[in-house]
Amino acid sequence: MLQQQTELFSDSGAVEAENDLLAALASRDWAIAARAYAELLEKAPSNMALASYDSLIQYGCHIDAHPDILPVDLEKEMTAAQDIEPLANMTLRAHAHARDYLSPAWQRLAKGLHGIIAFDPQQPDYHASYVLAKISDWQGVIDCLRTDSGLLGQPELLLRLAVALHHQQLPEQALLIWCVLFERHACKAEQLISEAKFPAVQELWQQFLSLDEEPGIEHFSGWILLKRPGLFHCLSENDPKLMPQSTTFKAMQNLLQARRGNVDEIEARIALQQQCPALLLHYLQIIGKAK
């Protein structure tokens, strides 16, 4: 009986030590974490998470001791963060501590990466936008990408910007970025649309593909504007360099603007007819149903 009580007390002490350790890891108090780890090691030496806890403590101490990353160390530090992430998620996720533990690590990397390394599609993770997305700093992602001189030339960065705008509750601006994606990187955009979790864009894409006279992919931005006329209020507010520029988009914009202004549409209709007859036909069907 005495042995059972002793074992029960030991088990209770181990649980308490582990809970203290988890809380210390989340609050990044390495002194308390080390003491709790030593106590857990003593009371539950067979605990399967001990090696993971030790790694998490060592990594946390490392990044606190080295708050700034030298450019020469970026690759090593990125690898270390990517290695520790699944370990933290697996070990801490049940206690909702993983994000608290990981956020400073990603913030540190974002600071080291920002403005230093140009985006390389062969190494897409080595960019501040990737790291900021890890901590759901969506405004940070937006600010980072809007000042990146290579943004328009990289479909992956445009996709990241669309994702960040979506998370910031700016769906119209996200749709405009999809317009730019399809105008500048049509083939890649078609691939991305099947992979990305953008139901609104995927629905528009399926509707576009189901048109009787299927237009070329380069006309998709005009279709988006036709089906989402609410984008109009964003056109004057958006960064000019992030505006769709295709002749089809411009023709559709002019036609919808003429209709809104209740002015003659003949010239605008002719311009759209020259660019994409299928879109003009669908426009006429829409206004016919509205009458």
The predicted-structure confidence for 169-205, as pLDDT tens digits, reads as follows 999 999 999 999 999 999 899 899 888 788 889 999 9
Question: Where does residue 76 rank: exposed (0-12), middle (13-18), buried (19+ CB within 10 A)?
Answer: exposed
pLDDT at 219: 92
Structural domain for 48, as ranges: 10-117
What angle, rounded to 10 degrees, do the helices at 220-227 and 171-184 form? 160
Q: Is residue 277 part of a domain?
A: no
**Nearby residues of 87 by Cβ (< 8 Å), 6 or more positions away:** 52, 55, 56
Q: Is residue 85 part of a domain?
A: yes
Both tokens of 209, joined, read 């593909």
Q: Do 28 and 64 touch, CB atoms closer than 8 A? A: yes
CA angle 134, 135, 138 (to 5 degrees): 95
Provide the domain count of the chain: 1
Q: Is residue 191 part of a domain?
A: no
Q: Is residue 290 part of a domain?
A: no
pLDDT at 98: 85
Q: Would you say residue 235 has pLDDT above 90?
A: no
pLDDT at 118: 79
Q: Is residue 40 part of a domain?
A: yes
Q: Is residue 98 part of a domain?
A: yes
The whole model's pTM is what? 0.84
Q: Is residue 274 part of a domain?
A: no
Query: What are 55-86's pLDDT values in tens digits?
Result: 999 999 999 999 999 888 999 999 999 999 99
Q: Is residue 233 part of a domain?
A: no
pLDDT at 115: 67
Q: Do 151 and 143 touch, CB atoms closer than 8 A? A: no
pLDDT at 1: 42
Closest CA to 141 of 169, 107, 164: 164
Mean pLDDT score, 142-146: 93
Query: What are 30-58's pLDDT values in tens digits?
Result: 999 999 999 999 988 999 999 999 999 99
